[in-house]
Chain A
Amino acid sequence: MTLAELSLAQLRTELDRKKISAVELAEYFLARAESRTDLNAFLHLDRTLTLAQARDADIQIAHRNYSATVNALTGIPIAHKDIFVTRDWRTTAGSRMLENYVSPFDATVVEKLKVAGMVCLGKLNCDEFAMGSSNENSAFGAVKNPWDLHRVPGGSSGGSAAAVAARLTPAATGTDTGGSLRQPAAMCGITAIKPTYGRVSRYGMIAFASSLDQGGPMARSAEDCALLLDAMAGFDTKDSTSIDSAETKVSIWRSFQAESASKTSPMLEFENLRIGVPKEFFSEGLSNDVAAAVRAALTAFEQRGATLVEISLPRTALSIPAYYVIAPAEASSNLARFDGVRYGHRAADYKDLGDMIAKSRAEGFGAEVKRRILVGTYVLSHGYYDAYYRQAQKVRRLIAQDFQDAFKRCDFIMGPVAPTTAWKMGEKSNDPVAMYLEDIFTLGVSLAGLPGMSVPCGFGAGEMPVGLQIIGNYFDEARMLSVAHRYQQVTDWHLRTPEVSA
């Protein structure tokens, strides 16, 4: 097995046994990243910066001033979605607006992973300001799906998903506002988790829709995600919406290990686990190949002792309009700071201050970002607020309630992540509404602030990966990751790799 196929725990062992150094590991993945520029997954690579971090990690390992649990990630490479600000690498958010922007500080997530000893490989492409479901909205070009270079990797964390899937990095960070971690993970055949809203600090994550944005890990397995999320999560005084509670003080990794160890009988692995299957997730619109792969996964759980419970999430369809009111509304305000005054793109010619702001924004933002700013501005406008924004907030509360009602009857909810596998590039880029409809199964989770995962569960038409979505109740990440991990112990979908076709 090559280094590219090793889990984070295995990499840890290699590093600890001095089979390989952090510098060598970084060199190895940098070389892979440099060899796959065709994917357009990385936006910024800088060997000098990466190797300096790797050398620091080697010093730490050499001095052994770490314990296996605390510094489980020391020396292991990771790459960040370019929506997380970094003081060493440029941060563009996939936008012309921030083409040459360098942040004076690191995002909390970046800092936490750095403190955990991880080595940053660079920054990953994404849809502009995380707005998109195909990664075709990046100002720096679309990302290609490693399974089929003619297809999209999903979005908006498309660069992260493609990089992990092509084994250009063992792990990546991503963000999820309406499915941006789960959907690209599903389309690229990797594992990702969007935590409970408030688990992971948003400080330094360039905001798209503040009440929905949540950062999370993308990796090759649930186990790796558990290790990464444990390092990323935690209350942050710099983010008022990050949660400081008894639940968030418990180590995700230790709970994950405890949950995973307690199940001893492989044949009844999932005994007592009640899986809610929302009928609305298996209705028209779901393609047959995705349905078949997801149903097979559900059967695998059932065969190992789980009980499938049919549930209803009656407002699933309403999640689309609710989301596409709330998210653009917040975005229209969040993106107002990009005015060309203090940083970012400024138009070369302008008549006055107002003109400068208008032109800078007109030139700096791409079409999808402008579309959402316009929609958001409209729904917040005088006379429309009650009809759109207030109404959408009501729907949002009802959707959250629907999930709570469902969780009375089950431990986890499972279904597809997306209605189809990855589509061909350009196929939907002229039809924004068709693109929005692709988010139908992920939006409700975001609106409710629940944790959700995407776990590889098979392949559909054209041998493109299919993701199984697991939805848990608030703060149930450790148990959810454990369920996914145990599924991955008896399946090998997550171990499949795309053949290098280039």
Chain B
Amino acid sequence: MNGVPLGWEVVIGLETHAQLSTRSKIFSGSPIAFGAAPNTQANAVDLALPGTLPVMNLAAVEKAIRFGLAIGAEIAPRSVFARKNYFYPDLPKGYQISQFELPVVIGGTIPIVVNGIEKTVQLTRAHLEEDAGKSLHEGLDSHGVSGIDLNRAGTPLLEIVTEPVMHSAEEAVAYAKALHSIVTWIGICDGNMQEGSFRCDANVSVRRQGDSKLGTRAEIKNVNSFRFLERAIQYEVRRQIELIEDGGKVVQETRLYDAGRDETRSMRSKEDAMDYRYFPDPDLLPLVMTQVQIDAVKATMPELQPAMAARFVREYGLSPNIAHALTQSKAFADYFVDCVAAGGEPKLVSNWMTGELAALLNKQGFDIRQSHLAPSQLAQVVIALQNGSINAKGAKELLHAICEKQGLAQDLSIDALIKQMGLEQVSDSGLIKKIIDEVLAGNQKSVDEFKSGKEKAFHSLVGQVMKASKGRANPAQVNEILKTKLNEAGAS
């Protein structure tokens, strides 16, 4: 099971760095923007110029508390910032401000489901820290020159650490996805893995089944997608088991995942491990959180995904699967709520969102927030469907046209667009009869087949009629009139 050989047990703990989506850095007023020209988002504090001091960005603290509340953790009444000392050219102060002995978030749990089995992942802690800058060794004008970009230096991170409680790559990925969903749901992280806003490091060890002692672990870094996380862990598990089975020993080390080769490579061993000489940062006061402050944050917490999905089932009679799909992200769920608020019938809205709209977004590579279709527009489309002014085929065309911006005037209402695009459903029975007569006249073979009892021929004729009406005929009416006509023909 899970690709782990019989007789072996895998133990995994994850450390995730979630970049907090604050406007400015964690200890300075510099703005945060991905992709800006090097060193344009770094001020005197970020450059660690002599005499500068850090000042806590309370927005980052608020986001850490949101996380703690979302996972049912303890918010430390007093947490302390510490200095993690090491020299690196892209670490301007020569130390990183982090939390060590006293983190802001303690404990908490995240539920996951793997192969239909529910499980709870226990968290150790989550702490606030600043990111380092970036060293650039390539792409510079002169050879042998390294560049430093400090735009990222001082970006707020929440490092979220689990207990070593996961036992397969699948579980680790399920946890990472659940965590990703939570941090984006509560609006503390944009979750963009490509830009490094959400980075997972995996501590992996193996042991023979029944052993009580944990095996020596390796820490895998540089994993920037869920797929790579799964593959990196699988590779590492195989490597460690093979190593032990061949009589070798796993050494405690940091390994980098190379996606191109699908393997992990040793980066530094424990012997090279640095002594970070942590000590409380005397430039920052301990972070003191009162219950009043925590309650104030609590009051601004959104309804969390499980609660919202359950409410959708309860209030709108949706199936649990649909409710789950609607709550795949906060933005998607909000979109649904907005559609319903704009008068869209919940079941129809949910069908269109999880069907046609989801497919379109997928095709466009868009997040729901990037869609050109406003929730109020989808609500109007659903209303038009209900009152018969458009049929399903027309609605599809309309959605495509709006989503793909097919030269439509933005300010037109859905009704006006339906008219402009000529998508109004034809419910004039005289007109439908006329089309049917023409179709029947031109398809004697199908008529004959129907008479000889072939039910399929009927569907073919319906198709012909719909096609002749350019998809605009009311399908229910077409069915009804066609049946009558064929029966009449049969009786004659």
Q: How far is the CA of A203 from the CA of B277 in the complex (A)?
A: 25
Complex contact B85–A339 (CB within 8 A): no
Q: Of B56, B94, B277, B283, which contacts A339 at CB under 8 A?
A: B94
In the complex, B51 has a CB within 8 A of chain A:
yes
Q: Of B44, B48, B89, B278, which contacts A105 at CB under 8 A?
A: B44
Shortest CB-to-CB span from B426 to chain A, Å, is: 69
In the complex, chain B residues 41-69 whose Cβ is within 8 Å of any chain A Cβ: 44, 47-56
* One of A96-104, A246-254, A285-293, A305-313 at the interface: A96-104
In the complex, B4 has a CB within 8 A of chain A:
no
Q: Of B49, B52, B93, which contacts A336 at CB under 8 A?
A: B93
Complex contact B282–A339 (CB within 8 A): no
Q: Which residues of B contact A339 (CB under 8 A)?
A: 87, 89, 94
Q: Which residues of A contact B92 (CB under 8 A)?
A: 337, 341-342
Shortest CB-to-CB span from B146 to chain A, Å, is: 7
Q: Which residues of A contact B148 (CB under 8 A)?
A: 341-342
From known contacts A210-B283, A337-B92, infer whether A98 and B50 are also in contact, taking CB-CB under 8 Å: yes
* One of A162-170, A233-241, A364-372, A474-482 at the interface: A233-241
In the complex, A459 has a CB within 8 A of chain B:
no
Q: Which residues of A contact B93 (CB under 8 A)?
A: 336-337
Q: Which residues of B contact A205 (CB under 8 A)?
A: 51
Complex contact A107–B279 (CB within 8 A): no
In the complex, A488 has a CB within 8 A of chain B:
no
Q: How far is the CA of A217 from the CA of B92 in the complex (A)?
A: 31
Q: How many A-B residue pairs have CB under 8 A?
A: 100
In the complex, chain A residues 201-246 whose Cβ is within 8 Å of any chain B Cβ: 202-207, 209-211, 237-241
Shortest CB-to-CB span from A62 to chain B, Å, is: 34
From known contacts A339-B87, A380-B277, infer whether A211 and B48 are also in contact, taking CB-CB under 8 Å: no
Q: Which residues of A contact B411 (CB under 8 A)?
A: none
Q: Of B44, B53, B279, which contacts A239 at CB under 8 A?
A: B53
Q: Which residues of B contact A332 (CB under 8 A)?
A: 85, 277
Q: Which residues of A contact B52 (CB under 8 A)?
A: 203-204
Residue of A nearest to B135 (CB): A353
Q: How far is the CA of A484 from the CA of B50 in the complex (A)?
A: 34
Q: Of A85, A333, A336, A343, which contacts B279 at CB under 8 A?
A: A333
* One of A46-54, A186-194, A381-389 at the interface: A381-389
Tell me how many residues of A have a C-beta within 8 Å of chain B.
44
In the complex, B285 has a CB within 8 A of chain A:
yes
Q: How far is the CA of A98 from the CA of B85 in the complex (A)?
A: 22
In the complex, A93 has a CB within 8 A of chain B:
yes
Shortest CB-to-CB span from A245 to chain B, Å, is: 13
Residue of A nearest to B274 (CB): A382
Complex contact B53–A202 (CB within 8 A): yes
Shortest CB-to-CB span from B62 to chain A, Å, is: 17
From known contacts A336-B93, A357-B87, A380-B85, infer whether A389 and B53 are also in contact, taking CB-CB under 8 Å: no
Residue of A nearest to B56 (CB): A240
Q: How far is the CA of A207 from the CA of B284 in the complex (A)?
A: 14
Complex contact B284–A333 (CB within 8 A): no
Shortest CB-to-CB span from A293 to chain B, Å, is: 36
In the complex, chain A residues 346-380 whose Cβ is within 8 Å of any chain B Cβ: 353-354, 357, 377, 380
Shortest CB-to-CB span from B79 to chain A, Å, is: 14
Interface of A is mostly: loop
Complex contact B282–A210 (CB within 8 A): yes
Complex contact A381–B275 (CB within 8 A): yes
Complex contact A206–B279 (CB within 8 A): no
Residue of A nearest to B28 (CB): A238
Complex contact B279–A240 (CB within 8 A): no
Q: Which residues of A contact B25 (CB under 8 A)?
A: none
From known contacts A241-B285, A381-B275, A381-B277, infer whether A336 and B87 are also in contact, taking CB-CB under 8 Å: yes
Complex contact A240–B51 (CB within 8 A): no
Complex contact B50–A337 (CB within 8 A): yes
Interface of B is mostly: loop
Complex contact A337–B285 (CB within 8 A): no
Complex contact A91–B283 (CB within 8 A): no
Q: How far is the CA of A182 from the CA of B140 in the complex (A)?
A: 52
Q: Which residues of A contact B50 (CB under 8 A)?
A: 85, 91, 93, 98, 101, 103, 206, 337, 343
Q: Which residues of B contact A204 (CB under 8 A)?
A: 51-52
Complex contact B49–A104 (CB within 8 A): yes
Residue of A nearest to B148 (CB): A341
In the complex, B228 has a CB within 8 A of chain A:
no
Q: How far is the CA of A377 from the CA of B54 in the complex (A)?
A: 22
Q: How far is the CA of A330 from the CA of B282 in the complex (A)?
A: 8
Complex contact B94–A336 (CB within 8 A): yes
Q: How far is the CA of A366 from the CA of B302 in the complex (A)?
A: 57
Chain A 81-101 near chain B by CB (<8 Å), digits 1 or 0:
000110000010100001001
Q: Which of B54, B275, B278, B284 has the most CB of A within 10 A?
A: B275
Complex contact A389–B87 (CB within 8 A): no
In the complex, A23 has a CB within 8 A of chain B:
no
From known contacts A204-B51, A240-B56, A337-B92, infer whether A380 and B284 are also in contact, taking CB-CB under 8 Å: no
Complex contact B277–A333 (CB within 8 A): yes
Q: How far is the CA of A203 from the CA of B53 in the complex (A)?
A: 6
Complex contact A354–B87 (CB within 8 A): yes
Q: Which residues of B contact A381 (CB under 8 A)?
A: 275, 277
Residue of A nearest to B50 (CB): A206
Q: Of A85, A209, A341, A382, which contacts B51 at CB under 8 A?
A: A85
Q: Which of A206, A207, A336, A353 has the most CB of B within 10 A?
A: A336
Q: Which residues of A contact B221 (CB under 8 A)?
A: none
In the complex, A443 has a CB within 8 A of chain B:
no
Q: How far is the CA of A85 from the CA of B285 in the complex (A)?
A: 24
Q: Which residues of B contact A353 (CB under 8 A)?
A: 89, 146
Residue of B nearest to A356 (CB): B89
Complex contact B89–A341 (CB within 8 A): yes
Complex contact B94–A241 (CB within 8 A): no
In the complex, A329 has a CB within 8 A of chain B:
yes
Q: Of B47, B51, B95, B283, which contacts A206 at CB under 8 A?
A: B51
Shortest CB-to-CB span from B83 to chain A, Å, is: 5
Q: Which of B277, B283, B284 has the most CB of A within 10 A?
A: B277
From known contacts A333-B95, A377-B277, infer whether A207 and B51 are also in contact, taking CB-CB under 8 Å: yes
Complex contact B89–A103 (CB within 8 A): no
Q: Of A211, A240, A389, which contacts B55 at CB under 8 A?
A: A240
Complex contact B51–A203 (CB within 8 A): yes
Q: How far is the CA of A343 from the CA of B277 in the complex (A)?
A: 25
Q: Which residues of A contact B87 (CB under 8 A)?
A: 336, 339, 354, 357
Residue of B nearest to A335 (CB): B94
Q: Which residues of B contact A342 (CB under 8 A)?
A: 47-49, 92, 148
Q: Which of B50, B55, B282 has the most CB of A within 10 A?
A: B50
Q: How far is the CA of A225 from the CA of B68 in the complex (A)?
A: 49
Shortest CB-to-CB span from B47 to chain A, Å, is: 6
Q: How far is the CA of A396 from the CA of B320 in the complex (A)?
A: 61
Q: Of B44, B47, B49, B282, which contacts A241 at CB under 8 A?
A: B282
Complex contact B283–A241 (CB within 8 A): yes
In the complex, chain B residues 282-335 whose Cβ is within 8 Å of any chain A Cβ: 282-285
Q: Which residues of A contact B146 (CB under 8 A)?
A: 353
Complex contact A343–B85 (CB within 8 A): no
Q: Which of B51, B85, B278, B284 has the most CB of A within 10 A?
A: B51
Residue of A nearest to B81 (CB): A240
A sample of 19 cross-chain residue pairs with beta-carbon separation below 8 angstroms, ordered by A number, consists of A93-B50, A107-B51, A204-B51, A207-B283, A209-B282, A237-B55, A238-B53, A241-B285, A330-B279, A333-B85, A335-B94, A336-B85, A336-B93, A336-B94, A336-B95, A337-B48, A337-B93, A339-B94, A342-B49
B residues at A contact (CB < 8 Å): 44, 47-56, 83, 85, 87, 89, 92-95, 146, 148, 275, 277-279, 282-285
